[in-house]
Amino acid sequence: MAAAFEGSVTRWIHQLQAGDRAAAQELWNRYFQRLVGLARCKLQGAQRRAADEEDVVLRRLRELFPGSRAGPVPALG
């Protein structure tokens, strides 16, 4: 049972709330490309400005990751 919990999103969120940057990296790895795809679908047909779908996702993830305003989101890319 412990092995199933090890890659748990819930666990990563709890670790992230405690300031664990490794948990932020795990969440980033798991969701960044999915969120970019979702943003791309939502922005489809919208007039392009200076920001693209990756910029939208980056802004939102920075709001979620504690301390991210003080530094970069972990391993951007």
Residue 53 belongs to a domain:
yes
The predicted model scores a pTM of: 0.58
Q: What is each CA distance from 30 to 23, 45, 47, in whole angstroms?
A: 11, 27, 29
For range 20-49, the mean pLDDT: 84
Count of domains in the chain?
1
Q: How confident is the model at residue 70 (pLDDT cuts 50, 70, 90)?
A: very low
Residue 22 has pLDDT above 70, yes or no: yes
Contact 15, 22 (CB under 8 A): yes
Quote the mean pLDDT of the chain. 74
Residues 43-54 pLDDT 10s: 887 666 656 888
List the domain range (segments joined by +) for residue 63: 2-70
Residue 75 counted as domain residue: no
- Inside any domain, residue 77: no
